[in-house]
Amino acid sequence: MILKFLRLFKIVRVAVRYGLDDIAMSGFDTPRISKLIDTLIFWRDISAPRGERLRMALEELGPIFVKFGQVLSTRRDLLPGDMVDELARLQDRVPPFSSELAIAQIEKSLKAHPDDLFAGFEREPVASASIAQVHFATLKNGKEVAVKVLRPGMKKSIDEDVALMHIAAGLVEKLWADGRRLKAREVVGEFDKYLHDELDLMREAANGSQLRRNFADSELLVVPEMYWDYCSPSVIVMERMHGIPISQLDRLRDAGVDLGKLSRDGVEIFFTQVFRDGFFHADMHPGNILVSVAPATFGRYIALDFGIVGTLNDFDKDYLSQNFLAFFQRDYKRVAEAHIESGWAPKETRVDELESAVRACCEPIFDRPLKDISFGQVLLRLFQTSRRFNVEVQPQLVLLQKTLLNVEGLGRQLDPDLDLWKTAKPHLERWMSEQLGWRGLIQQLKIEMPRYSKLLPQLPRLAHQALTQVVEPKTEQNNELMWRLIAEQRQTNRFLGMLVYVGGGLAAGVLLTLLYLRFAHMIWW
C-alpha cells in the first residue's frame, strides 16, 4: 500500500512539474481554476509546447508510461495533431537488465541452463526494450539464433501502473470537457489488453510464424524461423537475421541496394499483407526492419519484432478498397454510401450531407501531384470527417492507419519521388477483381462445394422421410423437419441454378470463341 501511495505521489509530482494539469484544464469553459493553480505553483516553467511537456512527463514516469504514450500516438482520431506528433517520438530507452537475471529467466522457462541448451550464449544483450531484451546464441547444430527474454517482474509492475491509469481515466472522463469524447477508459482498457498480450512471447512467436508462412515463396520479405522447442511465454528463440538497418541509407547505397525499388517493395509488402492476407505487421518502424545483403536474399526486407499485428476481415478489406478507389477517382458519393452501407454511419445519415463533408475535407488534397498525396492522411481525414457523423472508427482500422503512415514515411525516406498511388493501385484493383469478378465467384464455389457435396446425397433420404411422415399427425417435430427440407431444397435450387448459369455461360463463351476462330481462319485463307 505504501509503495502504491509513493508511486501515485510521483505521478502527481511529475504531472504538476510538466503542467499536465494545464493541458487538462484547457478543456474547461472557464480558465479560473487554471489561473488559480498557476498562481499557487508559480515556480514551475510550462512555456514549452504542450506535446513536448506530455512526452517528457511520460519518459520520466518510466517504460510503462512510455508504452502508453506510444499507443496514444496511434490515436490521431482522438488527440490533437501536435500532441500525437510529439508522442510519436517516444522510444524505449530502457537500460538492459543483468545477464544473471536473463539466465535465471531462461532456466526457469526452459528448465535448463543456457550453457546446456546452447553451444554458445552471449551474456551481453544486443537490444533492450521495456518488455524484453535480446541475446545472441548458437544452437548445438551450429545455427545462429536470437533469444528474446521477458524482463523479470513486468506483470506486477504493469498491473500496478495500469490500475492507477484506470483511476486517472475515470477522473478525466468526469472532470474534463473532452474526456468522454477521448474515451479515456476505453483507451486505457485497450492499452491494458495490448500490454498483457505483449507479456506472452508465445503470441509474438505465433505472429512471426504466421507472417513467415504467408510470405514463404516471396522474393520481397524474409521472416525469421521460430524454434518452437525453445519457446515459452517468457522466452522465445528465433533464427538470427543478418542485415543493414533500413534507416542507414549510406550503408545501403554502398552495398549496392536500389533504394527506389526498396521503397516500392515496401509498399507492395504492406498492401499484400492487408488485401491478400488480412494480417499485417503493425509495428513497421525503422528499428524493426533490416535489409538483407546476403547473395541469396539480396535487397529483401527482413521483418523483426512481431508483438503487434493487425487483422482485417473481408468486410474491412472491402471497405478500405472501395474507399481508396473512390477517393482517388473523386467519387465522394460512393465514399458516403460505403460508410452508410457498412453500418458505421447511422442509417438516417443523409448521403448528400456526408458526401459534401467528405468533399470539403479531401478535395484540397488533390491540388497536389499524386506522388505527394499521403494515403495515411487521406484515411485520417476520412476518420475525422466520419466522427462528425457519429461514425465509430474500428480499432483495427486505426492500427492500419498508423502502420500506413509508417510505411509511407519509410518509403519516401528511401525515395522522395515515390508515387504511392501508382504503386498501390494494382493491388487494390486486383483484390476488387478477386472478390467481385469471376475469380471471386470461382473461389466462393471452391469454398462452398465441400458443403454441398455432403448435402446433395442426403436429399433423397430427407425427401423420403418427409413424404412418409405426411400422413402422420402433424407434430412440432414433423413441421420442423418439413421446414428444414424446404430450406435445404431452396438452397440446393439456388446452387444448381447458379451452376447452370455459370456452366451455360462458359459453354457459350467457348462455342463463340471456336466459331470466331473458325470464321477468322476461313477469312484469312
Model pLDDT, residue 293: 92
The strand ranges marked E within 275-365 are 279-281, 289-291, 301-303, 309-311
Minimum mean pLDDT among 13-22, 74-83, 145-154, 489-498: which range? 489-498
d(CA 185, CA 64): 17
Q: What is the pLDDT of residues 318-366, one digit of tens each?
A: 777 777 777 777 888 887 887 777 666 777 778 888 888 888 877 776 6
Quickly state the pLDDT bin for 212 (edges 50, 70, 90).
very high
Share of residues in the chain with pLDDT > 70 (%): 66
Is there a binding annotation on residue 127?
Answer: yes
Residues with Cβ within 8 Å of residue 129, at least 6 apart in sequence:
63, 92, 94
Amino acid code (one letter) for 267: V
First to last CA, the chain: 98
Model pLDDT, residue 394: 63
What does the block give as the cell for 425? 493501385
Is the backbone of residue 256 left (phi > 0), alpha (psi -120 to 50) or beta?
left
214 CA to centre of own chain? 16
261, 212, 258, 273: which is closest to 399 by C-alpha? 273
Quickly state the pLDDT bin for 298 (edges 50, 70, 90).
very high
Residues with Cβ within 8 Å of residue 301, at least 6 apart in sequence:
220, 221, 222, 246, 262, 265, 266, 269, 289, 290, 291, 292
Minimum mean pLDDT among 64-73, 162-171, 218-227, 395-404: which range? 395-404
d(CA 86, CA 347): 37
298, 318, 221, 309: which is closest to 255 by C-alpha? 298
What does the block give as the cell for 161? 501502473
**pTM given for the model:** 0.70
Model pLDDT, residue 112: 93
Is there a binding annotation on residue 335?
Answer: no
Would you say residue 247 has pLDDT above 60?
A: yes
Q: What is the pLDDT of residues 445-483, one digit of tens each?
A: 666 667 666 666 777 777 777 667 654 544 555 566 556
Would you say residue 310 has pLDDT above 70?
A: yes
d(CA 403, CA 39): 43
Across all residues in the chain, what is the average pLDDT?
Answer: 76
The enclosing H or E element of 163 equals helix 154-175
Mean pLDDT of the region 394-404 = 70
Minimum mean pLDDT among 246-255, 337-346, 437-446: which range? 437-446
Model pLDDT, residue 497: 60
Is there a binding annotation on residue 172?
Answer: no
CA distances from 242 to 213, 224, 304 (A): 20, 10, 11
Query: What residues act catalytically?
Result: 283
Residues with Cβ within 8 Å of residue 410, at least 6 apart in sequence:
246, 263, 266, 284, 285, 286, 289
Is there a binding annotation on residue 273?
Answer: no
Is there a binding annotation on residue 126?
Answer: yes
Where is pLDDT greater, at 386 or 87? Answer: 87
Model pLDDT, residue 128: 84
Mean pLDDT of the region 251-270 = 91
96, 74, 94, 93: which is closest to 83 by C-alpha? 74
The enclosing H or E element of 127 equals strand 127-128
